[in-house]
Homo-oligomer: A and B are copies of this chain.
Amino acid sequence: MAAATHKLIAHAGLDAATMAAVAREAGFSVGTVQHYFASKDELLLFAYKRMTDHQLARVARMVAEGESEQLPIRAILMRCMPELWPLDEIRRGEYRVAKAFHARALDVPTVAEVARETAAVVRGQIARAVENGKECGEVQPETDAERAALELSALIAGLSDELYREPADGRSGRALVKATNAILEERLGSYFPGDCRHHER
């Protein structure tokens, strides 16, 4: 049911995710959906939280992969951060769902809490990466990790909007992807100017 809800919102917006539509999409009756979710709010919140959990899990998996490959932290971040960008149809769908709920979060505190926490996790992970970078010499010791994380997470979110407007399969879309990658590379370079001590030879 949560998957059906996600699909409907991604395809036609929050208003399209009526109880009847969700039931039909999931192959159940309206009554059955009601059996599992006491209210529509509950259903929507569950579907939203499910999506953010999936996203964070994907990022965590990519971090783990990068660590097992002994990549420098900067390279790991360079891989992970575009994971939240709307570069293919799946992630464009997630972008649409996320934006729909961000609007809903303005009026529904429970949704705002999920959005707030998701953002906090992302920012926290970046901040931790910067701190780790100090220990291994990639980051200068006087860098403010919280501030760096704030700028980097804001940058990702802001660039997402631009990327969504210009689908990545067009000519100008590909140029935009190159530009956003270059920006991210440059900014990571300014926060991670050094080489990892553990990779020295």
Contacts and interface: CB of A to CB of B under 8 A. Distances in A.
A121 interface: no
A16 to B, nearest CB: 8
A137 B188 CA distance: 26
Contacts of A159: 150, 154, 158
B14 A103 contact: yes
Given A13-B106, A190-B190, A154 B150 contact: no
Interface residues of A, number: 35
Interface stretch (A34-42, A43-51, A94-102): A94-102
Nearest to A184: B151
Interface majority SS (helix, strand, loop, mixed), chain A: helix
Contacts of A180: 150
B161 A151 contact: no
Contacts of A154: 154-155, 157-159, 161-162, 183
A182 interface: yes
B103 A150 contact: no
A179 interface: yes
Interface in A161-201: 161-162, 165, 179-180, 182-183, 187, 190
B116 A147 contact: no
A56 interface: no
Interface string A129-151: 00000000000000000110011
Given A158-B158, A162-B154, A146 B179 contact: yes
Interface of A: 12-15, 96, 99-100, 102-104, 106-107, 112, 116, 119, 146-147, 150-151, 153-159, 161-162, 165, 179-180, 182-183, 187, 190
